[in-house]
Amino acid sequence: MLDSLLAYPQELLGPWWPSVSSVVWTLVKILIIVVPLMLCVAYLTLWERKLIGFMQIRIGPNRTTFFGISWLAGFAQPIADGLKLLVKEIIVPTGSNKFLFVLAPIMAIMPALAAWAVVPFSPELVLSNIDASLLYLLAMTSLGVYGVIIAGWASNSKYAFLGALRSAAQIVSYEIAMGFALVGVLMAAQSLNLGEIVKAQQGSAGLFSWFWIPLFPLFMTYVISGVAETNRAPFDVAEGESEIVAGFHVEYSGMTFAVFFLAEYANMILISMLTAILFLGGWLSPFPASWGVLGASSFGWLILKAFIVVSTFIWFRATFPRYRYDQIMRLGWKVFIPVTLVWIVILGAWMQTSLWIWWK
């Protein structure tokens, strides 16, 4: 069936067939990752509103439904929101820099999606199995700040600009702590390849052989810096409503705003996925192998772990009041960076002794 379908374009393209087919095939693979990701983003917004609703003893969105089925009440909310944003007018403010104004949301979502190229979903299932994937991820997450900065500057609005400045300073500071946390992971795993890092966490002790035990301070630093990197509460001063209206995206409407929103949530899912891969054993099962399906390592475990981490992010938002800006800077520079530096030195010494039991 597939062969007969492919015969015609093969004949048509002749010698160019291999290069064209590899490009098309890669595009198909990208779509296979991005389309479910976008659906996850849509339903993450619903889950966030529902979960915060439960925590605040409310119901959350419960009106929109598919075909009037009552038990699906609320489940069409992301679709409805998406449609609303899609048909809204995009207003480009006068005096703004139009090209950069439109470029900013693209710059925000591009790294958020590009980073998924190296995320392994199972031992074999990864779009691009490169050796330096950890470095690549660090580079991609550091590019996300450009969307925010360009948006703030191109809007030609003071609130947006203040938001962009806050966000830029915050992301640059927390990136360092995040990078040091990753240094600890690569020391323990002896590899920059994410698949290898998960394999290095395989051990007889189940969930105690994952890296969250030996790297516990780095694990905490990574999670909290991840919240700060994605500009989520309690570190969301970049869009602090009570101070600067909506921060860097105050002038954006319709689809341009939606793209910022998508980028933020895609980044959230990315960070939780990475936390699961780097510290929580990725697709490895927490149970012994004799437990049958539960003991087998599978894609489901990775999703479950990422889901738990992402729910913790939402929990943070429902629980903590917003940090004051100087406290954010203090936490990043004076607490996290020294903690990670000290732990890297301890880790280096620890790995030289026989007390280190996290080898394969």
User: Which residue ranges make up the site for another protein (CB under 8 A)?
Assistant: 100, 130-132, 135-136, 138-139, 142-143, 145-146, 149-150, 153, 161, 164-165, 168-169, 171-172, 175, 192, 326-327, 330
d(CA 319, CA 56): 10
1 vs 348: CA distance, rounded Å: 56
CB atoms within 10 A of CB 122: 15
**Type of residue found at 320:** F
CB of 286 to another protein, least distance (A): 30
Closer CB to another protein, 64 or 142, in the complex: 142
Least CB distance from residue 116 to another protein, whole Å? Answer: 16
Which of 104/314 has CB closer to another protein?
Answer: 104
Q: How many CB atoms lie within 10 A of CB 130?
A: 15
Tokens of 284: 């490895």
Classify burial at 3, counting beta carbons within 10 Å of its beta carbon; exposed 0-12, middle 13-18, buried 19 or more: exposed
Q: Kindly state the tokens that stand for 161.
A: 């600009």
Nearest approach in angstroms of CB 157 to another protein is: 13
Name the residue nearer to another protein (CB basis): 174 or 260: 174
Which helix (H) or strand (E) segment is 181 a member of? helix 158-189
- Nearest approach in angstroms of CB 316 to another protein is 20
Nearest to 225 by CA among 148, 279, 289, 290: 279
* Closer of 86 and 132 to another protein (Cβ): 132
Q: Please identify, using beta-carbon distances, which residue of 37 and 148 lies nearer to another protein.
A: 148
Tokens of 258: 């939606």
What Cα–Cα distance (Å) separates residue 194 from each residue in 135, 242, 342? 10, 40, 24
Residue closer to another protein, measured from CB, 25 or 99 = 99
Q: How far is the CB of 141 from another protein (least distance, A)?
A: 8
- Residue 322 CB, nearest distance to another protein (Å)? 16
- Among residues 351, 328, 334, 226, the alpha carbon closest in space to that of 277 is found at 226
| Neighbouring residues of 203: CB distance < 8 A, sequence distance ≥ 6 | 209, 358, 360
Q: Is 96 left (phi over 0), alpha (psi -120 to 50) or beta?
A: beta
In the complex, the smallest distance separating the C-beta of residue 149 from another protein, rounded to whole angstroms, is: 6
Give yes or no for a contact between 220 and 180, defined as CB atoms under 8 angstroms apart: no
CB closer to another protein, 39 vs 132: 132
Of 128 and 319, which CB lies nearer to another protein in the complex structure? 128
